[in-house]
Structure 1
Amino acid sequence: MRNRLAQLSQYLPSFSNLKVQGRTLHLSSTRYLDGWLLFSSLFLLALGWLMVSSASVAVAEFLSNNPQHYAIRQGIFAVLSLFIVFLVSQVPLALIQKQGPLFLLFAFLLLSLVLLIGREINGSTRWISFGFFNLQTSEVAKICLVIYMASYLTRHIQQVRNTFTGFIKPLLLVLVYGSLLIFQPDYGSLVVAMTAIMGMVFLAGVQLKHFLFVLLTAVVGLAFIAIMEPYRVERLTSFTDPWSHQFNSGYQLTQALIAFGRGHWAGLGLGNSVQKLFYLPEAHTDFIFSILAEELGLIGGLLTIALFVVLISRIFLIGRKCEVIGHFFSAYLCYGLGVIFTTQVLVNLGVNTGLLPTKGLTLPLISYGGSSLIASGIMLGLIFRADYERRKQAFQE
């Protein structure tokens, strides 16, 4: 009977529940996948491949004599990320929760290993080369950190909520994690990781006075780190008036703004961007949203943002529903991963539009990069698993 109801629920979404032998069965609980999360993630992944294919044509032909070089690689990593989503979603979260400390140790090992054998690109040592692609270790390490933090909050939630000591203990480990990122250096990943952890403890119900004290300390610390290097200071000053530094530190931003201006309402059409023809550096990676706005216009840009809103809101909604039924590890995990998605989207869009200083953070599921797609696949796999376990319990009750 339950299997039959599960089949019927796919065709009768308007029915909220049925009575069977005096028992209420919620049809919504029989669907083990969140349709909106699945739709938004797949649509963004497909859109990302389409835009990478368009934005990378010129640079791919110049570097490899194959205009579809990056499109082919992005397609391979997109398929791989889908496989990773399926694979990760098959692992029970109880097993992952038990291994929280091991995930933290793995994160430290990755960030230490990259400093020893990592590949230096543009003055930063953030990647370990595997021949076919370069793994950006911080992409995987931040997920491991969130898993550990979710495990810690689940085990020590009362201490975290009621005492400053319980709250500060895991944050000391974050300082070690952050110091390894500074040595690379990778200031953007540090901001994402710190924001995710602070978001998790805030949503876990920590006392506001403790949270504000640590938040203020973190902001001061990040600001100090930002002004330690001259190139970061140059970025901070040039983004306020990029046109006065149009041919040096403000070059990327001015070219991105030109792309937005050329796009108007409906865009120039897919493949018709001018800025991708060696005017805008990193057109298929960090600044791909500018090319998207140039080719698809304001309408295409707003629709892309709407898809991200759907994706992120569903992640937090799943986390909230898990918390209500007592799946605290799943809830805190979803909160942390949701903050990572949110931070990366906001920073990338802020950089592309000139609202934030230039910083190398990819746009999840859209920008070119194997590490970014693999990390997104892992995160989505964990979120789908959390939602599956919640829905399964709701159906069994």
Structure 2
Amino acid sequence: MLKKYSNTSLFWPVFFLSIIGLIMVYSASEVIALDRYDDAYFFAKRQAVFLLLGFMGMFIVENIPYTWYKRWARLLFLGSLFLLIIVLVPGVGLVRGGARSWIGLSTINIQPAEIIKVSLIIYLCEVNERLKYPVSHFSRGMMPRLVVILCCFFLVMLQPDLGSGLIIVLGGLAVVYFQGAQMKHFYGLFLIGVIGLTGLILAAPYRIRRLTAFLDPWQDPLGSGFQSIQSLLAIGPGGLLGSGLFNGKQKHFYLPEPHNDFIFAIVAEELGFFGALMVILCFIVFFSRGLRMSLLLTDTFARTLCLALMMMMISQAWINLAVVTGLLPVTGLTLPFLSYGGSSLVINYMAVGILLNIEKHTV
């Protein structure tokens, strides 16, 4: 089945990232899994199931013509919006880490914020085909799109989940930008965004603690700065070749939840600079191949959809890597295709499926 993908396909960097991710999820979680569940393979087995579901979803979506989304974009978006609303209802939404972000269905938990990231992009691409006024017209073109983006953002912030909210905004603005918005409008939006983000940080004490921990993690090394310090203590000693696969120390109850948001720190510790560079290069290859593909597309809908989906995944990867290396405050975002988690992995693979279907129209 894999032979059908050419050597220049978008599939291969994603495939390699997922294999690395599965191995590193086991390595990063074995100690915690053994302590909590008396099974060192607990998280790795679940990640393998998520990966299988992701592959299945990708293969299904890959065979759906991308033009299909023009017809069903509104229904997909409204369904995602409905899930984003009902997750806020007590008894329906599950609370983890202080955020009501999951809907529990038997043994499977769904994170609506992951679904809205993709459905919003599809909807905004479809809107451009339908609205009379172009996005370059601010009040009647750009403003309606911004209202939709902000509605999604505020619903996610009610959970609250600032990290996912930022990716939703970045994905939505990527669509608006690629549709031909004027840069002068973005300058104003940037200023408003900085003011709004400052307000959101000041409104929540835990976000203030994260910001101060980012500026000086050693000010509270056992509290808000603990995760950042332990991440750097994992990356630093890794050196060029690392301590060896499965030989890391930070996963021994030093770095909290090392198989989730901070899995890249374990990669750097165990596989060293070259292992970390291999992961980064996979993301670069994925981005460059997607960019090349978009330049070959003549369909405006397909080109915008391709670029925006890529920007969504790459921006999330960049933010995660920046957080893990201490360049940004902790946001709670996973590293696409590597971090443990079902909703994120499956939805990202389905997004790749859309890109692979578009890729068929460039060859």
The structure-2 alpha-carbon separation of the partners of 1:153 and 1:316, relative to structure 1 and needing over 3 Å to count, comes to farther
Q: Is the contact made by 2:240 and 2:272 (CA closer than 8 Å) also made in structure 1?
A: yes
TM-superposed deviation, 1:33: 5.3
Q: Which has the larger radius of gyration?
A: 1
Q: Deviations for 1:246-266, whole angstroms, at most 9, x for unmatched residues?
A: 111000000000001121110
State the identity as a percent.
36
- More divergent stretch after superposition (169-178 vs 311-320): 311-320
What is the one-letter code of the residue matched to 2:73? Answer: G
Which of the numbers 245, 248, 263 marks the counterpart of 1:270?
A: 245
Equivalents in 1 of 2:19, 2:151: separation in Å? 37
Counterpart residue number, 1:66: 39
Which of the numbers 84, 87, 91 marks the counterpart of 1:111?
A: 84
Equivalenced residues, count: 359
Which of the numbers 285, 298, 311 marks the counterpart of 1:310?
A: 285
Q: Is the contact made by 1:286 and 1:360 (CA closer than 8 Å) also made in structure 2?
A: yes
Q: Is the contact made by 1:164 and 1:210 (CA closer than 8 Å) also made in structure 2?
A: no
What is the one-letter code of the residue matched to 1:68? Answer: Y
Equivalents in 2 of 1:74, 1:163: separation in Å? 44
The structure-2 alpha-carbon separation of the partners of 1:163 and 1:347, relative to structure 1 and needing over 3 Å to count, comes to closer
Counterpart residue number, 2:49: 76
- Counterparts of 1:348-367 in structure 2, within 5 Å, are 348-367=320-339
TM-score by length of 1: 0.87
Q: Does residue 284 in structure 1 map to residue 259 in structure 2?
A: yes
What is the one-letter code of the residue matched to 2:351? Answer: M
What is the one-letter code of the residue matched to 1:161? Answer: S
Which structure ranks higher in relative contact order (CA pairs < 8 Å, sequence separation ≥ 6)? 2
Equivalents in 2 of 1:168, 1:321: separation in Å? 30
- Counterparts of 1:152-231 in structure 2, within 5 Å, are 152-156=127-131, 159-231=134-206
Equivalents in 1 of 2:146, 2:72: separation in Å? 19
Q: Is the contact made by 2:238 and 2:272 (CA closer than 8 Å) also made in structure 1?
A: yes
Counterpart residue number, 1:261: 236
Structure 2: runs of 5 or more not aligned = none
What is the one-letter code of the residue matched to 2:32? Answer: V
* Pairwise CA RMSD: 1.6
Q: Is the contact made by 2:27 and 2:246 (CA closer than 8 Å) also made in structure 1?
A: yes
TM-score by length of 2: 0.95
Counterpart residue number, 2:312: 340
Q: Is the contact made by 1:157 and 1:204 (CA closer than 8 Å) also made in structure 2?
A: no
Q: Is the contact made by 1:33 and 1:384 (CA closer than 8 Å) also made in structure 2?
A: no
What is the one-letter code of the residue matched to 2:66? Answer: L
What is the one-letter code of the residue matched to 2:330? Answer: T
Counterpart residue number, 1:371: 343
TM-superposed deviation, 1:161: 2.5
Counterpart residue number, 1:35: 8
TM-superposed deviation, 1:316: 2.5
Q: Deviations for 1:254-289, whole angstroms, at most 9, x for unmatched residues?
A: 000000112111000000000001100010000000
What is the one-letter code of the residue matched to 1:364? Answer: P
What is the one-letter code of the residue matched to 2:31? Answer: A
